[in-house]
């Protein structure tokens, strides 16, 4: 079909589409209503499931925040000067990747790249989607690579990174490859659906996105994590028995606590829980075992057991699935607008040249939802902190552990409020120390 005929077809559909009662306006309304209903459902789930208050107010009121969190002036200075170098770098990198995504998604440049990379393979739509996503992901990565390298230089200078440049490059390549591969798969399914079910594709795609979030979260520990780290069972000994006993007391017995070889990359201290059901695991960085005394390691693991007890990974996964479905329905609504598609040079959602526009809308959606995700996360983390205090009854070890983490990880104990509101996934160290003091004053059993 010639370009002119496609254009006439698109124009005719648009004219019809804007008349009430036509198939396009019906599909547009259905997608919008679905997006709104799923969005409201997400807000309700968040409102009901987020632990907004984790501790009652102690007699005499909550402990006022000490912005130093008890760190020395030198320690606070060091963390602040580190942040003063990295925060602008992150913001510039974010702005740059959005600007590049906007240029690619809102001009014909992106669709030209999509067609060009697929041309040597015959130019079919499958190649356009797969290689197009790959090419755009590589472009996005290369644009911000100098900033990422600079951030790594800063982390080296402050002794936080132990990673050589070979491993850094390998990490960048592997994470870009995994991201691009997953995105390419998702968009391939999306375009395929849009070609098969021109009016209801977004509904199937929304279901698929929700399923992908659930399956992805389940498989993450066994498929993605091993691409970066090795995991060994914590060596037998008193600490290991104590931790397994702690899990038993928590009512969530675990077979094992895993230790990751994080020290290949960093001196940072951390632990986390990932997966759910049969893939659930508690992982402690080897740096924690090397650097912290046993009572503080128990405090860290007790926090992770708090996540296990409250099934936080599953809750987060279900919220993510609902959010993804709402986002895809909103995408379905936005892509009914001909002028928007034509900016990107795509005739319909089933046209592979839609890829750069979809990537831009995904980037905007992800960024816009970040403060909400972090708001929920901070409350879930605070609940796990209270759980750790309840389980260990050792606020001194908890506070010492929080200070140790802040000092070693160079976390600003009291970052600017706007930064914390947007990017803070955990309460600040100042807040976590104050929480432990509230817990002590409440004299919980």
Residues that bind Zn ion (CB under 5 A): 381, 384
Contact residues for 401 (Cβ-Cβ < 8 A; gap 6+):
292, 296, 299, 300
Alpha-helix runs per DSSP H in 197-293: 201-223, 238-249, 286-291
CB nearer to Zn ion: give 125 or 398: 398
Contact 406, 413 (CB under 8 A): yes
CB nearer to Zn ion: give 81 or 270: 270
Token pair 């984790």 is found at 54
Instruction: Please state the closest distance from residue 287 (CB atom) to Zn ion, in A.
Output: 17
Cα torsion 38, 44, 47, 50 to 10°: value is: -60
β partners of residue 161: 266
CB nearer to Zn ion: give 313 or 362: 313
CB nearer to Zn ion: give 306 or 356: 306
Residue 336: φ, ψ to 5°: -80, -10
CB nearer to Zn ion: give 266 or 402: 402
CB nearer to Zn ion: give 81 or 377: 377
Dist CA 296 CA 314 (whole Å): 27
CA-to-CA dists, residue 76 to 133, 207, 354, 403, 424, angstroms: 43, 47, 48, 11, 18
Instruction: Please state the closest distance from residue 271 (CB atom) to Zn ion, in A.
Output: 8
Instruction: Please state the closest distance from residue 209 (CB atom) to Zn ion, in A.
Output: 26
Nearest CA among 64, 112, 27 for reference residue 344: 112
Instruction: Please state the closest distance from residue 434 (CB atom) to Zn ion, in A.
Output: 17
Instruction: Please state the closest distance from residue 377 (CB atom) to Zn ion, in A.
Output: 8
Instruction: Please state the closest distance from residue 308 (CB atom) to Zn ion, in A.
Output: 11
DSSP 8-state code for residue 59: T
Contact residues for 176 (Cβ-Cβ < 8 A; gap 6+):
137, 138, 141
CB nearer to Zn ion: give 384 or 405: 384
Instruction: Please state the closest distance from residue 301 (CB atom) to Zn ion, in A.
Output: 11
């Amino acid at each position: 079909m010639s370009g002119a005929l496609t254009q006439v077809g698109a124009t005719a559909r648009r004219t019809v589409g804007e008349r009430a009662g036509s198939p396009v306006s019906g599909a547009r309304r259905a997608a919008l209503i679905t997006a709104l209903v799923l969005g409201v459902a997400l807000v309700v789930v968040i409102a009901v499931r987020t632990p907004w208050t984790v501790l009652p107010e102690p007699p005499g009121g909550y402990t006022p925040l000490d912005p130093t969190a008890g760190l020395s002036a030198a320690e606070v200075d060091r963390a602040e000067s580190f942040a003063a170098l990295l925060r602008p770098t992150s913001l510039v990198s974010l702005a740059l990747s959005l600007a590049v995504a906007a240029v690619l998604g809102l001009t014909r440049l992106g669709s030209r790249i999509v067609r060009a990379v697929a041309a040597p393979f015959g130019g079919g739509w499958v190649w356009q989607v797969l290689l197009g996503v790959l090419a755009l992901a590589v472009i996005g990565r290369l644009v911000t690579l100098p900033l990422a390298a600079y951030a790594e230089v800063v982390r080296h200078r402050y002794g936080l990174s132990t990673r050589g440049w070979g491993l850094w490059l390998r990490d960048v390549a592997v994470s870009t490859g995994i991201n691009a591969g997953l995105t390419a798969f998702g968009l391939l399914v999306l375009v395929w659906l849009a070609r098969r079910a021109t009016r209801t594709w977004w509904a199937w795609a929304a279901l698929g996105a929700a399923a992908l979030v659930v399956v992805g979260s389940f498989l993450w520990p066994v498929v993605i994590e091993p691409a970066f780290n090795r995991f060994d069972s914590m060596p037998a000994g008193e600490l290991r028995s104590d931790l397994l006993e702690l899990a038993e007391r928590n009512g969530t017995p675990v077979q094992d606590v895993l230790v990751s070889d994080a020290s290949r990359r960093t001196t940072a201290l951390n632990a986390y829980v990932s997966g759910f059901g049969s893939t659930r695991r508690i992982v402690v960085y080897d740096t924690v075992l090397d650097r912290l005394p046993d009572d503080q390691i128990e405090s860290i693991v007790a926090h992770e057991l708090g996540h296990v007890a409250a099934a936080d990974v599953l809750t987060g996964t279900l919220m993510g699935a609902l959010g993804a479905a709402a986002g895809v329905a909103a995408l379905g609504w936005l892509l009914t607008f001909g002028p928007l598609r034509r900016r990107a040079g795509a005739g319909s959602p089933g046209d592979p040249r839609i890829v750069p526009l979809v990537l831009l809308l995904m980037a905007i959606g992800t960024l816009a939802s970040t403060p909400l995700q972090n708001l929920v996360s901070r409350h879930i983390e605070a609940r796990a902190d209270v759980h750790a205090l309840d389980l260990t009854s050792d606020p001194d070890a908890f506070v010492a552990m929080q200070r140790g983490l802040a000092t070693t990880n160079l976390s600003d104990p009291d970052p600017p409020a706007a930064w914390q509101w947007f990017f803070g996934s955990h309460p600040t160290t100042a807040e976590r120390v104050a929480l432990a003091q509230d817990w002590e004053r409440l004299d919980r059993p």
